[in-house]
Amino acid sequence: MAEQVTYRVSHETRYDYSRPVLTSHQLAHLAPRQTAWQRLRTHQVKIDPEPRDCSAGKDYFGNSVLSFALDMSHETLTVLAESIVEVDSQVLNQTEASVNWEVAASRPLTGTTDLEVELYRTCSPMVPFLEEARLYAKPSFQPMRPWLDAMIELTRRIRSDFVYDPKATTVTTRVEDVLKNRRGVCQDFAHLMISCLRSLGMPARYVSGYVLNLAPAGATPLVGADASHAWVAGHCPGLGWVAFDPTNGKLANLEFVTLGWGREFSDVTPLRGVVLGSAAQALTVAVRVESL
């Protein structure tokens, strides 16, 4: 596999409103994040109708945010984000790969508290500590088992125990219900895995982004291609943050473009808004990821 891939990503969101919208405030997490393994070459967002007030900044989690407002009557809103991104293959440190999971689950007792890690160890509004999630994860986390092994196993178990079913859940479905019904989409599986890990005392963050459909002819394509995707990053001392995709049951590596991360979906919702005037809206999302 190549060491580095360059992607062109386009992500179009379109709202059709049932009645004209008079004012609209929107918040976008649509710019791929600069990281040690990912560089953003070009990025632009086209908004139609053109907003009056537009400002870019960083959120608490270090992601780029674009906020804009419209105060003219409009019946559709289109937001098109286009980026060119270079992604490096991430090599795991083999000597650290055998660190036990208990190390990841305990807070360092001395030294400065690493807030970048602790922020993701506690529960968050949509991802509570959950006894059921802990019990589900526990078999993979036997005493003294290497963290990486256990994580990969949990990732695969979620893939095989749960059915990918876009009709089963919504953006507000609770982890308890996903666990009970064994159905959902990438967001649900990510929340579930985060709940499993945090309930065992380990830090985990929600990663929003895209996955390339790299499947060779004849093979099953990865689930979540052609849409925005979500997966999980876990933290282990020595290894740092490692990303896992429970929807596809694998490590998230070269085929994944990272937009940003937070404690859960609501921290990095691609496009979130409040509109005044419309009664109902139809949402269409189109994502295209191609390697150059």
Query: Is residue 167 at the binding interface for another protein, with CB under 8 A as the rule?
Result: no
51 in contact with another protein (CB under 8 A): no
Smallest distance from another protein to CB 94, Å: 31
Which residue's CB is nearer to another protein, number 89 or number 122? 122
102 binds another protein (CB under 8 A): no
* The pair of three-digit structure tokens given for residue 79, joined into one six-digit string: 């937001």
- Could you say whether residue 55 binds another protein (CB under 8 A)? yes
Q: Counting contacts by CB under 8 A, is residue 292 touching another protein?
A: no
Q: Which of 90, 155, 228, 258 binds another protein (CB under 8 A)?
A: 228
Residue 276 in contact with another protein, rule: CB under 8 A: yes
Binding status of residue 275 toward another protein by CB under 8 A: yes
Is residue 261 near another protein by the rule CB under 8 A?
Answer: no
**Which of 171, 195, 192, 190 is closest to 181 using CA atoms?**
192
- Asked whether 77 and 71 are in contact (CB, 8 A), the reply is no
- What token pair was written down for 134? 């802990």
Stretch that binds another protein, among 17-25, 31-39, 238-246, 247-255 (CB under 8 A): 17-25
From candidates 1, 36, 91, 283, binder to another protein by CB under 8 A = 283
Binder among 16, 71, 102, 132 for another protein (CB under 8 A):
71
One symbol per residue from 185 to 204: x for binding another protein (CB under 8 A), - otherwise; what is it? Answer: --x-----------------
Determine the Cα–Cα distance for residues 198 and 202; give it in Å rounded to an integer. 5
Stretch that binds another protein, among 1-9, 86-94, 96-104, 280-288 (CB under 8 A): 280-288
Minimum CB separation from another protein for residue 60, in Å?
A: 4
User: What minimum distance in Å lies between the beta carbon of 250 and another protein?
Assistant: 22
Interface with another protein by CB under 8 A: which residues? Answer: 13, 15, 22-23, 25-27, 52-53, 55, 57, 59-61, 67, 69, 71, 79, 107, 112-113, 115, 118-119, 121-123, 125, 129, 131, 171-172, 187, 227-228, 266-267, 269-278, 281, 283, 285
